[in-house]
Amino acid sequence: MSTSLRISAVVLAASLVAGACQSGGATTTPTAIPTAIPTAIQTATPTLAPHGVFSSTGPISSNRAWGHTATLLASGKVLITGGVGGSSASQASAELYDPATDSFSPTGSMSSARTEHTATLLASGKVLITGGYDNDSRVFWASAELYDPATGSFSSTGSMSSDTGCPIEGSGMPSIPFSEPRSACRSRHTATLLANGKVLITGGTAADGSGYLASAELYDPDTGSFSPTGSMSSARSRPTATLLANGKVLIVGGSDTNGALASAELYDPGTGSFSPTGSMPIPRTRHTATLLANGKVLITGGMEASALLDSAQLYDPGTGEFSPTGSMSGPRAIHAATLLASGKVLITGGEIQGGSLASAELYDPHTGSFSSTGSMLHARWGQTATLLASGEVLIMGGGGAGMLPPPELYTP
């Protein structure tokens, strides 16, 4: 420190002491100064608001365990459709969650009970429901429906195959003649809204004994019809599909007749074709894929054969390669991953050996690491997690038949 700075510091200290020692003519001792100043600073420090908190929300009118969908509408409400209830029965019912009132209310029902179907918000504000299956009647669906928020009702739209449905192989049902291949009936497939407004349907599980599907098709909202597009290089059930910033769709992992897949491929809407891209070092199914703000895709957890995974990978569209990033605190499969407004990713619940998880953690893209956040009120797997306009996350369902945890909200 220079001589002039030392002199200034001494003068400043002397001024503080003089001011502190004079109060209404009374003299205090300088020894009170060191404790008086920090105490005042501590008192003025504001208390931080709690964060990373899960809380109960309004009661749902129809509990759902798994296989349902949750779609954020333009109004800010969330549409919940189908899924399996407490008796293992698939449901046709639907309901709306209103964040403004923190309440659920029934809305129109689908024409068919569906589990492990897809729901996609279209540019029109309507929601496209495709495929799935009905546990009770043992039928896979090729049909599709549209939900109109303006009327609160569902209506049929073009079908991927026969509207009648496809009996599950070996279910004991009588043979039903089909004019079109039953392999177009799908569940555990993906549905991705493209930049051109069409919806890409890929892969899934077939109902005719062919097992897993490599085929893909496009839904055109203008015509209300499906048409075939290029097929994937691998048949996949339960893959993930992520729309990239460049308009292409990244298809990752899933499973076929030989087990979990490590491969990935890209769909190009411009050519209507799929092409291979980098592979993951570890095969995965029942994992999650989340598009980050930096354009990369975060892949977390899942299963390889019977082994649950805690590792995570980043896909870089610029290089077409996967690279490792921080690992989660423990293995998870059939969990949920939600991109928050902060750019972090919320990981909730999931299946573990012999049970399910209530724990949650956050992935920070800046550090490439995971950290714990508050635990859910209920352990669950197979739940949906929907980011609301408020920045909160609605957690819905989760668990096997007979396990019906109530919904809850996560506040970042």
* Residue-wise pLDDT tens digits, 29-63: 333 333 333 333 333 444 444 578 999 998 888 88
Predicted pLDDT at 31: 34
Q: Is residue 124 assigned to a domain?
A: no
CB-CB contact of 339 with 291 (8 Å): yes
Listed residue (35, 42, 37, 44) closest to 16, CA to CA: 37
Q: Is residue 234 assigned to a domain?
A: no
What does the DSSP assignment read for 289-328? EEE-TTS-EEEE--EETTEE---EEEEETTTTEEEEEPPP
- The pair of structure tokens assigned to 279 is 């592979």
- Structural domain harbouring 33: 3-44
Low-confidence stretches of the chain (pLDDT < 50) are: 1-49, 162-164, 169-183, 209, 401
Predicted pLDDT at 400: 58
Total domains, the chain? 1
Q: Is residue 327 assigned to a domain?
A: no
Mean pLDDT of the residues in the chain: 84
pTM above 0.75, yes or no: yes
Q: Is residue 251 assigned to a domain?
A: no
Predicted pLDDT at 40: 34
The helix (H) or strand (E) run that includes residue 127 is strand 127-130
- The pair of structure tokens assigned to 57 is 């929300």
Q: Is residue 315 assigned to a domain?
A: no
Distance CA 330, CA 247 (A): 33
* Residue-wise pLDDT tens digits, 271-297: 999 999 999 999 999 999 999 999 999
CB-CB contact of 336 with 347 (8 Å): yes
Q: Is residue 223 assigned to a domain?
A: no
Predicted pLDDT at 178: 36
* Contacts with 93 (C-beta within 8 Å, 6 or more apart), sequence order: 62, 82, 106, 109, 110
Q: Which residue has the tokens 């555990």?
A: 188
Residue 377 buriedness (CB in 10 A; 0-12 / 13-18 / 19+): middle
